[in-house]
Each structure stands twice: as structure tokens, then as C-alpha cells.
Amino acid sequence: MGAESWAGLGSTIASLFFLYNIVKDHIPFQVSDYVATVFHKVFSFFKPYVDITIQEYHGEAEYFKRDELYIAAQAYLSSTCSSRASKLKAELGEDSDTPLVTIDNNEGVPDSFRGVQVWWYARAESSNSQIFSFYRRENKRKYYRLAFHKRHRNLIKGEYLKYILEQGRNVMLRRRQRRLFTNSPSSNWDGYETSVWSHVAFEHPATFDTVAMDPKKKSEIIDDLVTFREGKEYYKLIGKAWKRGYLLYGPPGTGKSSMIAAIANFMEYDVYDLELTAVKNNTELRKIFIETTGKSIIVIEDIDCSLDLTGKRKEKKKDDEEKKKLPEKEEKDESSKLTLSGLLNFIDGLWSACGGERIVIFTTNHLEKLDPALIRRGRMDMHIELSYCTFEAFKVLAKNYLGVEKNDLFATIQTLLCEVNITPADVAEGLMLKKSRNKDAGTYLENLIRVIEAAKEEAKRKAKHELAGKQKEDKSKEEPQVEEEELEG
């Protein structure tokens, strides 16, 4: 059929629609509905495009609840298609400190997916709903209209909408104000989800560029994090929960907290600081864990000081003897407390599979005190030692604090760092001359040399004192033996 024939057919259909609108009020409604249905089917047959409407609010009784797909589409259009629009609008979300710029009402933009062209249109219509007006404070019903050729119906419904939802969520996660959570004592829980965790904005400035450690070691950590973040399908393939465990250990002041902040900023994750002493039992621990979200870091700092979960497990015989001495009521209370097995199940048991893309981090100052079952590979997948300041770590600090990468005093500092154990925190403090207005880097480096030399002398005095104490103790042990030999003689 030629173009003239198609044009004539379209003109005929339009004429029929015009005549129907004139006579529809003068014929019975049964006939009117039937004719309308027939006309709709005929028009749909010749119309090659399909529309999908995505409402901002769904459900007549839930107008106050925004539709997640609408929010995701808004974020997706902001990041992908807004550059092709001539009319834009900016909005600031509740959990974001960055404005969201997206297409304005009555604006349309094209998009493509796997070679298929689609069109997005932003629309706003008046609404007579009193509920809608009450919650929205404006009598406008907003929605997106997605148009595409009908031969691509299955692709758009099946894969494209899922793609929009996933990409939109990722955009919202990157834009959101990340938060630092802490668990509330169970006595404060009131039955609502918000009572389990309280939070503040997470604004720690630490990054991997500012963390003082060996660059090679730092690169290994970054590579491991990237592999984890991109490993969703791999974890599913091997049948493991999508999580990763890191154990940070080393003396106080070696940067364990800064490393956690750097990981959170690099991964763009929320941080849940879990205080085990506020958890009564395993049941509460499970409830707390369920209330965490994906793309988050769960931190237990100083795990060696958290309850009685460290060291070697008690022998069964000794444990049974102690239980026999306790009254029945006390024994029941004891069995309800948080246990090592409960914590292990939290890390890699069945409950660890609730949600995905989580990182669990333990920190300790005393690695030797931890139960081997707690830190074995598979639970704490990567052990990261944060030790005393090395010369490589010092160079990172010098660059961050002073903006210098080379100086004649570096050689002296390198020699001193090989002779004494000093933490990165102490080195950083030595590079900060609060009362000095001299901006010369040499002044700060000379002050650091004095700090390291003082630490070296203090270490010598401490070692000398410990040696004297040990000699005195050894001598006191030998004296009774000499007296016994004299008596025997």
C-alpha cells in the first residue's frame, strides 16, 4: 500500500472519530461503549507506538508515598538525558546535599537501549483528589510517559525498566548524604525501625591519598575493594554472600580509624559503628543486623575489648563445673547473653546473606588475644597490619602536611625512623607547629626530627628500666636457691 493510500486511510479514521464524537451523546451507553472499544482497537492496530506511564505517587490511599521507579527514573534522566533537554528543574532531596537537575514538566528527551530508541516525557496534570492535595500541597499529579515502538515491548518491559531502576538507584546512592550509624541500647527501642540505629552525617575527610602507609600495600587494598564492588555476579556464581571482611590490627595511633573512613569514602558506603557492649544477646544482634542496608560498612572497633569474645574458648569441663555452681535463674540469664557463636553467625552464617554488598571490619590493638575462629580466612578475608611509621608513610604525610616531596632533611628522618618505633599520629603531630608562622618546610621537618629523637631517648630509658626490673626479678628468684644450698652444706 502506497503513501497516498495510508494518508487516505488516516483521513477516513479521523473523520469517523469526528462523527462519533458528535453522535455519542444521542445513542445508548451500551452501544457507545462498544463503538468506543472498536475504535480503540482499530486505532491501536494502526498506531505503532506504546506508552508506559510511571506515576510519582501510587495507590489512592498512599499518595504520600513516592513510587520508587519514578524516583529512579528521575535520577536516571538527570544523569543520562538531562544534557539533551532545553527545560530543566532542580530539586534538593531529603538525604542529599547535591541538587538534582532533571527534565522539567512538558519536556521530552530521547534515549537508547541496545540500539532501541525510546522517548521520555515529563508530565503534570491537575488532580481533584483531596488526599493528594493534602499531602502534596499542590493540586498536580506528576508522571513520566515512556514511549517506544510496540515491536520492542518485551525488551522495554523486561530489561529496560530493570536497567532504569538499577542505574537510578546507583545515582541516588552517589548523591545521598552518607551517614554514620550507631546502635542504640535495647532499653531505648520503642518498636520502630528508627529506634535501632541513630545516625549523623558522615563527613570524615580521610581518603587513600591522605592515609600514611606504603603505596604498594595501599594499592593492594584498593584493588581488593574494586574487585569486591564489581563482583556481584561472581559471588552469586560461587554461591557466597556478597560481603567482605577486613581485620585492621596494629598499635594505637597507627591509623585504623582513618583507614575505615578512607574505605567508606572510596566505596561511597554508609558506616555502621556496632557497639557490642550495648547488645544483650544474639537475638538483638540479629535484629540490629537486619536493620542495616546494602552498600555499607559494619565496624566493630577494638574487638579484643568487646565483651568476653576473645582469647581461647573455655574447656567444656570447666564450663560445666561453673554452671553447676550457679542457680537455675542465673544460668538461664547467662545462656541469653551475646556469644562468640552468635557473632560468628552474624559474620558468615545464614544471617550474613540478608542483603548484599556489605563490608565487615574488625579493629584490634592486640591480634594475639583474638580467638582464631573469629579472624580466620573466610570471615576476615584480608588482614591489614597498620604498624609504626615507615619512611614511605612519612613521605605521604610530608606531602599532605607540607606539600613537599623532597628535602635535604629526609635522609636524617629516614635514618631515625629505622631506629625507633613511632606512630604516624605522632609523626603528623610533629609536622604541625601551631605557634609558628614560618611557612618554610625545613622548620617543620626540624621539629619532627626533635620529636623523633625525643621518642628515641624515651624508648632507650624505657628499655633500660625494663632491663633493670628483669635483672632484679631474676636475682630475687636465685637468692632462695643459694640459701637452700648453704643450709644443705
DSSP 239-277: T--SEEEEEEE-STTSSHHHHHHHHHHHHT-EEEE--GG
The answer on pLDDT for 288 being more than 60 is yes
pLDDT at 33: 59
**What is the rounded average pLDDT of the residues 243-254?**
92
Q: Is 469 helix (H, G, I), strand (E, B) or coil?
A: helix
Tens digit of each residue's pLDDT (9 = 90 or more) over 298-342:
999 998 887 665 544 444 445 555 555 555 544 444 444 788 888
Write the burial class of residue 60 (CB in 10 Å: 0-12 exposed, 13-18 middle, 19+ buried).
exposed
Could you give the maximum distance between any two Cα atoms of the chain, in Å?
Answer: 138
Greatest mean pLDDT among 15-19, 348-352, 384-388: 384-388
Phi-psi category of residue 255: left, alpha or beta, with phi > 0 → left and psi -120 to 50 → alpha: left
Tens digit of each residue's pLDDT (9 = 90 or more) over 57-115:
876 544 467 888 998 998 898 888 777 777 788 877 666 667 778 888 888 889 999 99
- Comparison of pLDDT for 130 and 125, the residue scoring more: 125
DSSP 309-361: --SSPPPHHHHHHHHHHS-HHHHHHHHTS--HHHHHHHHHSGGGGSSSSEEEE
Instruction: Look at 275-289, 359-373, 428-442 and tell me which has the smallest mean pLDDT.
Output: 428-442
- Comparison of pLDDT for 58 and 122, the residue scoring more: 122
pLDDT at 256: 94
Q: What is the 3-state secondary structure (H, E, C) of 448-465?
A: HHHHHHHHHHHHHHHHHH
CATH class, domain 179-385, is alpha beta
Distance between the two ends of the chain, CA-based, in angstroms?
Answer: 131
Q: Residues near 147 by Cβ (< 8 Å), separated by ≥ 6?
A: 49, 50, 51, 52, 118, 119, 121
- Angstrom distance (rounded) from CA 387 to CA 133: 61
Q: Where in the chain is the domain with CATH 3.40.50.300?
A: 179-385
pLDDT at 312: 45
Number of neighbours of residue 201 by Cβ within 10 angstroms: 10
Tens digit of each residue's pLDDT (9 = 90 or more) over 138-180:
567 888 999 999 889 999 998 999 999 999 988 887 778 889 9
pLDDT at 334: 45
**What is the rounded average pLDDT of the residues 335-353?**
71
Q: What is the 3-state secondary structure (H, E, C) of 138-185?
A: CCEEEEEEEEEEHHHHHHHHHHHHHHHHHHHHHHHHHHECCEEEEECC
Residue 120 CA: distances (Å) to CA of 25, 67, 106, 148, 289:
36, 17, 10, 9, 39
pLDDT at 299: 95
Query: Are 266 and 170 within 8 A, CB to CB?
Result: no
pLDDT band of 7, cuts 50, 70, 90:
very low
Q: Phi and psi (nearest 5°) for 90? A: -120, 135
Tens digit of each residue's pLDDT (9 = 90 or more) over 353-398:
666 789 999 999 988 888 888 888 878 899 999 999 999 999 999 9
Percent of the chain with pLDDT over 90: 33
Mean pLDDT, rounded, of the chain: 79
The answer on pLDDT for 275 being more than 70 is yes
Number of neighbours of residue 7 by Cβ within 10 angstroms: 10
The answer on pLDDT for 480 being more than 50 is yes
The answer on pLDDT for 486 being more than 50 is yes
Q: Residues near 325 by Cβ (< 8 Å), separated by ≥ 6?
A: none
pLDDT at 314: 47
